[in-house]
Chain A
Amino acid sequence: MKHDDLKPFHHALKILEDNCIGCVHCMRVCPTDAIRIFSGKAHVDQNRCVDCGECLNACPVDAIVVEQDDFNKIFSFDIRALLVPAILIGQFPEDIVESQILAALHELGFTHIFEVETIVPFLNDVFIDYQNRSNKKPLISSFCPAIVRLIQVRFPSLVGNIAQLKAPLDVAALYVRNLLEKKRGKKGKERSVGVFYVTPCAAKIAAVKSPVSDEEGRINGVINMDFIYNKMLRIISDKKIKPEQSPESVLRSGREILWSVTNGECYYEKGRSLAIDEIHNVINFLERVENGEMDEVDFLELRACDQSCAGGALAPQNRFLTVERLKNRVEKNSNRKNFNTRAFLTKNDISFLLENISVRPISPRSILKLDDDIEKAMVKMESVREMMKLLPNIDCGACGASSCSGLAEDIVKQEGSLDQCIFIQEILVRKNEQFIEHFEKIWGKAKLNRILSVKTNREEL
């Protein structure tokens, strides 16, 4: 077993027990079937969860939250750098200019601000070179951490197709830390360097706290986008900062700021590429990749959220408006003197980044197996098939599992029991005639007869 198989995933999504009403909304949308309800509360299987945030979006009572570092932690560092994804800029209407956004971030206490997408032109050069040397088809982007984890747990045979390159955030963090550590000052009086990141989603937090395949994170803390957005909006709308008094903008405004929205990566791909967003769409597509149907495609840009990062659970503004605003900013600035985006990297920077840009191969962490031993798994599989003849196939969720097949698998893994099924209880065990009458009215005679025809002397009952 490889080293990182032993380490549990870090998770950024938390369930607030006091708020959870034990409904089935989160359980239904979970793409890795990680949620079960018991004792009236939702529980997450930590080995299955990929921090995609689907549950958070589906929760009707805001019982699922994203963990957050204490903001004041930034003040324990002398140099406080903030990595800003362009999605944060896209939260603001275009009449709020880039320099106001920057000034608001300085006002909040950051000494250096660096837009993550600044690194994109460099990364594209690296990626083209990597792709030329790779024999994997299709090559899958390592950008979205929820997708990388999804592939590890649900598509273990495809882990080798994921590009073994750091995501822009990690490369940007490397660059910024390296740059600022040179500016720490004289020996003995060194200033401490803290690097922070504003995140639009839970998966990025999870990735920073336990990188998929890297031991050391270079980011000291993560700030949730909805939190900082509110603070920035207050500063900007209090007119504390007028556009004319704002410092010079160093935010990028070229095409690269669209990198984290859908088609952002594919835009630069020379070969045949496809961009797919929203995790269930991605799952359907990966099934076909696994069948070998997509071997003619060179590159896949896969993102867990609809509209990619603009649809992140922590991005406060409407995802479609965010994409439109970013496109408008690119348009607005298109006649401005072009940033030479590669020019800011020195030769030393480039060789330093190239030395550190690779990641180790990503290990599979299959959650689907019923048993490690194939023969035992086959016996369990047979039991699941038997059980499916008995269960009503309604997927109501009343048993606390996401579906009848989910319950059947829980039972063979000894994580559940058949008496959780209310239909089996009422029809076969209690033989409740009133219930049977209702059942037939709603679900039909065929389904009822199928359940009734099962021998009821099973030991599970």
Chain B
Amino acid sequence: MLYVGVSLQFRFHVTGGDFSSAGTASSEIKKVLKKLNVDGVVIKRAVVSLYEAEVNVVAHAFEGDIFVNISSEKISILLKDKGPGIVDISKAMEEGFSTASPQVREMGFGAGMGLPNIKRNSDFMDIQSVVGEGTTLQIEIYINNKNGEQE
């Protein structure tokens, strides 16, 4: 039997500063991916990417929405937030660079590893940001990229 164009969609809302709920989307998506019999390595890459992205929204933005689309080829994640935006994206991609407030760092976040970690774990990543408005982050993880090597 052929299922043409089957995909599953999920949507999550994230509130800035709500650290206790950070991880809700990634936990939910993890549960789904396990049920879909996706390879463990792929699940981990997707979950780590999504978790880091979720924490970014919580730590930096006022609010945001996460849209996840799962097809048999890839997991596509789109995060749109309303927030301060990123002034220098290439700087933000550097390991250890962070603009997180001291309060956020005290909670164990904001080590400046978020975006590099997403880059490392995903097969495609794109950030668009408008300072003073917000950031849009797009991430893709290919279901068949089981060894986690960048393509």
Contact = CB atoms under 8 A, between A and B. Distances in A.
Interface of A: 156-158, 287-288, 290-293, 364, 366, 368-379, 381-382, 385, 409
B48 A366 contact: no
B5 to A, nearest CB: 10
Interface stretch (B39-47, B94-102, B129-137): B39-47
Contacts of B71: 378
Interface string B77-89: 0000000000000
A376 B3 contact: yes
A374 B36 CA distance: 5
Nearest to A293: B51
B103 interface: no
B37 A374 contact: yes
Contacts of B53: none
Contacts of B44: 157, 290, 292
B37 A371 contact: yes
Contacts of A291: 23, 26-27, 30, 47-48, 51
B40 A157 contact: yes
A292 B47 contact: yes
A364 B8 CA distance: 25
A376 B37 CA distance: 10
Contacts of B40: 156-158, 364
B51 A378 contact: no
Contacts of A157: 40-41, 43-44
B38 interface: yes
B36 A377 contact: yes
Interface size bracket, B side = 20 to 34
A364 B34 CA distance: 12
Contacts of B6: 375, 378-379, 382
Interface in B33-65: 34-38, 40-41, 43-44, 47-48, 51
A158 B37 CA distance: 15
Nearest to A367: B34
B144 to A, nearest CB: 10
A374 B38 contact: yes
B3 A369 contact: no
Contact of A370 (B23, B37, B43): B37
Contacts of B48: 291-292
B21 interface: no
B128 interface: no
A216 B115 CA distance: 48
Given A291-B30, A375-B72, A376-B3, A381 B47 contact: no
Interface of B: 1, 3, 6-8, 23, 26-27, 30, 32, 34-38, 40-41, 43-44, 47-48, 51, 70-72, 143
A373 B72 CA distance: 9
B37 A379 contact: no
A39 B45 CA distance: 44
B112 to A, nearest CB: 15
Contact of A369 (B8, B36, B51, B70): B36
Contact of B37 (A366, A385, A409): A366
Given A292-B51, A374-B38, A379-B6, 13 more contacts: A156-B40, A290-B30, A291-B48, A366-B34, A366-B37, A374-B72, A375-B3, A377-B35, A377-B37, A378-B71, A378-B72, A381-B8, A381-B32
21 contacts: A157-B41, A287-B27, A290-B44, A290-B47, A292-B47, A292-B51, A366-B34, A368-B34, A368-B35, A371-B37, A372-B37, A374-B36, A374-B37, A375-B3, A375-B72, A376-B1, A377-B35, A377-B37, A378-B36, A379-B3, A381-B32
Nearest to B45: A292
A366 B38 CA distance: 11
B142 to A, nearest CB: 12
A156 B51 CA distance: 19
Contacts of B3: 375-376, 378-379
A157 B44 CA distance: 8
Contacts of A371: 37
Contacts of B26: 291
A373 B36 CA distance: 8
A368 B27 CA distance: 14
A227 B27 CA distance: 43
Contacts of B1: 376
A381 B38 CA distance: 13
A292 B51 CA distance: 9
B27 to A, nearest CB: 6
Nearest to A288: B23
B107 to A, nearest CB: 13
Nearest to B38: A374
Contacts of B23: 288, 291, 293
A322 to B, nearest CB: 35
A368 to B, nearest CB: 4
Nearest to A370: B35
B37 A378 contact: no
Closest A-B pairs by Cβ, 8 of them: A157-B40, A369-B37, A292-B48, A368-B34, A377-B36, A375-B3, A378-B6, A374-B72
A376 B36 CA distance: 8
B34 A378 contact: no
A379 to B, nearest CB: 6
A378 B7 contact: yes
